[in-house]
Amino acid sequence: GLIGLLIIIPPFYYWSSAIYLHRIYTGDDIFDSFRNVRLGMRGNFWWTWVIMFVTLFAIGIVAVVFAIPALIIGAIVGITIASGGDSSSMIALISVITALVTFLSSVLYAYYYCMVSFHYFSLKEQKEGLGLMQRIEEICKSKDDISQLHY
């Protein structure tokens, strides 16, 4: 049960995110996007699994590190309230720290989407043979072709 979920969830995260990336990039409908992302992952399941597992694990660890100060402050306020002390000055601090932790955790997901984008375009380049190498070859055209460029 748990091992099956551990195997299925990281590639599913990639698949569900890459579908929308594919739709934005190509303009295909949702069903073509499902099919194309699945075809792109074919033969690369374990590589996708490793990339997504490491990415999600790193995001989880960093999110926990961000949450530790909020947990400590929350515990201090809870102990203060339980012992009958005044915690009104700590409420503002808790609000600021919680907002900061929430913001930083949201920023972490930008890293996740960068990794999904990088992996998507890497798989796309492997399958279709288009991408960075083609652009490098275009740059290396002869001087005659370069002189015809208009800026």
Question: What mean pLDDT comes out for the span 31-35?
Answer: 90
Q: What gap in Å lies between CA 62 and CA 92, rounded to an integer?
A: 24
Query: Sorting pLDDT into bands at 50, 70 and 90, what band is 139?
Result: low
What would the two tokens of residue 91 be?
Answer: 């409420």
Residues 62/70, Cβ–Cβ less than 8 Å: no
What pLDDT shows up at residue 87?
A: 67
Q: What is the pLDDT of residues 45-62, one digit of tens each?
A: 889 889 999 999 999 899
Other beta carbons within 10 angstroms of residue 103's beta carbon come to 10
pLDDT per residue as tens digits for the range 10-26: 888 888 889 988 898 88
Q: Is residue 135 exposed (0-12), middle (13-18) or buried (19+ Cβ within 10 Å)? A: exposed
**pLDDT 10s digits, 88-131:** 777 777 888 888 888 988 888 889 999 999 999 888 888 877 66
